[in-house]
Amino acid sequence: ETTGTAGNGPGAVIGGVVGLLVIVLLAVAAFGFWKKWNQAPPKITEIHKPARFIHGQRADLSWEVTGFKPKEIEIVVLLTRKRKEQLKLFVWNFTKDENVSCQIEEGVPIVDIKDGCERVNSFTAEPPRCVQLENGTFSVKCLIGFCPDVSEDDGAQMTVKVNHKTLKTSLEKSVNFEVEGKNCIVQPLSPHPRP
């Protein structure tokens, strides 16, 4: 009489372990594929600017960082003026916290830069908002205003720099300023009054 129970031998145990390993590997591969597929790199649209930058007249610059996923992103706005170091105008960090719309963690405006005309040249920004699009990606609209000064801003360059986990290096887009107008010449006061 043969009394054996099928599936109780060492082959059944090895088969069960191999089967379990295959299931775990498939689950890990599926999760990795889903995580990779569930990411999208950002794009910076064209930086919209006025047709002309005129000395002393407010100018607005706008652009959008769009199509990215996950939500965490850093947007940095830099300004390089002639013969001067690059300045950080604004830094915006958006977090993944779903309970609040994207928060501005830091905004650094450059203000009170004066030239010989005693004009104050300031950059201001509307707080950017991060929205989720129908396709599940995110988008941030940015708007900066400033009063161009021909002596400081003619030939300057503003750069938008974006850092995101899907990018190996920062994404950048720049715009050059060609400011129309006249340089102010300040005449020194004479210590002797004119007759």
Secondary structure, 3-state, 60-99: EEEEEEEEEECCCEEEEEEEECCCCCEEEEEEEEECCCCC
pLDDT at 24: 83
Q: What percent of the chain has pLDDT over 70?
A: 71
pLDDT at 94: 87
pLDDT at 194: 58
CATH of 43-180, one of 2.30.30.170, 2.60.40.10, 3.40.220.10, 3.40.1620.10: 2.60.40.10
Encode pLDDT of 131-147 as tens digits. 999 999 999 999 999 98
Model pTM?
A: 0.67
pLDDT at 178: 93
| Domain range annotation of the chain | 43-180
Q: How many whole angstroms separate alpha carbon 37 and alpha carbon 162?
A: 21
pLDDT at 4: 53
pLDDT at 107: 41
pLDDT at 54: 92
pLDDT at 103: 37
User: Which segments of the chain have a pLDDT < 50?
Assistant: 98-121
